[in-house]
Chain A
Amino acid sequence: MEMLTLSHVTKRFGEKQVLRDVTFSVPEHTVFGFVGQNGAGKTTAMKLILGLLQRDGGAIFVNGMPVHYGSTATNQFVGYLPDVPEFYSYMTAPEYLRFCGELFGMSEKEIKIRSEELLHLVGLEKEKHRIKGFSRGMKQRLGVAQALFGRPKLLICDEPTSALDPLGRKELLDILVAAKEQTTVLFSTHILSDVEHICDEMAFLHNGTIVLQGSLEEVRRRKQTVAMELETQRPEDAQLLLAAFPFLKLTGRSGLLLEDTERFPDVLRFLADTKLVPVRMEQQEASLEELFLEVVGK
């Protein structure tokens, strides 16, 4: 079943058309990466899903129910982590989570158990200070805890890793993967390695439309030309090859890159004729980075 569906969604701010025609859907129990450059419209799209902004056209469904601007009933299924989460600075982290629990109408006991569980998960269980003194990373952690508090069916995270140090980032990604068991995760990012690490599916947003989407494998397959990497024993051998095939690219002292893979048999033949034994020959894996650059046309 689809947890989230966007169909032909458009949004403009004054003169600026931010979303032209956004269509994609997120199946249940997947981690869905929403990729795009800064300013591509990721946050706008998320705010539309949450009913925080009014869309100009198209339709959005969460768990089969339509989203309306303002007070939308679909928010009961959703947990949201904003890009820069802000909480009441005069509360402590457990107090804020208690407030969240009360908003959901949970029982006292339930709130206590869930708070402890989540504070432990995000590593804030020993934090006794008020939120006023929290660093951005700590607010981000509390943000994760409050977003997961109501056991949402859909967890929406807006660039959750961008404010974190490498360790915090890894921890957060682990939390998202773990959350997949119970919920569906939609997260936006411009950090492609995050997508490669944890996503099942993804969509690239560029110029207000989805330019590429599918599972990680499908998207990778999209890239037709996969370069070959070649490493020779000695730098001189590399020079020899380079002289014979000027279209090769030198990488490092004895590494060569063949982009036009149709010429690969010729290179092999040459290697056999000259009795050169390469140290390494490898098909380069299509990185999302390159794919992304290809898609945005740079």
Chain B
Amino acid sequence: MKAFLKKEWMEWSRTGRILILLLIFSLFGVMNPALTKLTPWLIEALSESLADTGLAITSVKIDAMTSWTQFYKNIPIGLLVFLLLGSGSFTAEYQKGTLVPVVTKGLSRRKILSAKSLMLYLMWTVLYVLCFGITFIYNAYFWDNSIVSHFAFAVLFTWLFGIWTISLLIFFSSVVESSTEVLLGTGGVVAGAYVLHMFPKLSTFLPVRLMDGMSLLQDIRQPADYYISMAVAAVMIFSFMILATVCFDRKYL
């Protein structure tokens, strides 16, 4: 399995996937505080023309919270890019037949699945920590991070949502043939969850709630409000991984 992990690492780095993701996630990390910093200046520049239309702007208050709002707007885009680039992790190998020599050398399919999953989960974690870390440091430098509440929970929940979508990606990768189908499947389930999330009765249970970190930061919700969706996400991640193992064992390569 170590050999296959090494190969995965080589694939991620030599195909440029890591570079793109590192750039995007650090760019987002910098952009969150940068945009916040620019906001007053932008509004000032606009205020004259706005004044003509009758809108009067007095002053704009910016703080760490504004920057974290940006963070929560950008992280879904980061996740989307990550899923797009990760969607070919399995399917590109099915289509080229590159797993055939590996399997016929006696490497068990479970080890292949484990190595690929581990790589995806680890990459997401590293990139997430990077993006969040950069924003955190800038926020601490410019403003004060202490005004936000339940910080650790908010960070953890969003990360878990990412893990949940990746487990979906892995499950679909073990069933279908092409990356388009993987993305359709994963996107379909996530979109479905968002639709169901609009019903107040269901929203408590759905992992989608985990993405609502702002309510935690602003102390509108308490961590306990998220426990059910967290448990549901955890159970789903576990089940998807079991299902993926069963399907991948029987997958035609």
Do A and B form a real pair? yes
The residues of B that contact A100 with a CB separation of less than 8 Å are 101, 105
Per-position 1/0 for B19-58, Cβ under 8 A of A:
0000000000000000000000000000000000000000
| Complex alpha-carbon distance, A147 and B6, angstroms | 20
Q: Are A80 and B250 in contact (CB under 8 A)?
A: no
- CB within 8 Å of A: which residues of B? 2-4, 6-7, 10-11, 14-15, 96-98, 100-110, 249-250, 252-253
Q: How far is the CB of A140 from chain B (nearest CB, A)?
A: 13
The residues of A that contact B106 with a CB separation of less than 8 Å are 73, 75-76, 103-104
| Complex alpha-carbon distance, A283 and B109, angstroms | 56
List the 10 closest pairs (A to B, CB-CB), nearest first: A102-B3, A90-B14, A80-B104, A76-B106, A75-B106, A86-B96, A71-B108, A86-B97, A70-B249, A103-B3
The residue in chain A whose Cβ has the minimal distance to the Cβ of B7 is A99
Q: Are B100 and A80 in contact (CB under 8 A)?
A: yes
Q: A71-B109, A90-B11 are in contact. Are A52 and B98 (CB under 8 A)?
A: no
The residues of A that contact B104 with a CB separation of less than 8 Å are 50, 52, 75, 78-80
Q: A82-B100, A103-B102, A104-B105 are in contact. Are A69 and B11 (CB under 8 A)?
A: no
Residue A84 lies at the interface, judged by CB distance under 8 Å to chain B? yes
Residue A85 lies at the interface, judged by CB distance under 8 Å to chain B? yes
Q: Are A88 and B11 in contact (CB under 8 A)?
A: yes
The residue in chain B whose Cβ has the minimal distance to the Cβ of A77 is B106
Interface centre among B97, B104, B108 (most CB of A within 10 A): B104
| Complex alpha-carbon distance, A76 and B106, angstroms | 5
The residue in chain B whose Cβ has the minimal distance to the Cβ of A74 is B106
Could you name 6 residue pairs across A and B whose Cβ atoms are closer than 8 Å? A50-B104, A75-B103, A78-B104, A80-B101, A86-B98, A86-B100
The residue in chain B whose Cβ has the minimal distance to the Cβ of A130 is B14
The residues of A that contact B10 with a CB separation of less than 8 Å are 88, 90-91, 95
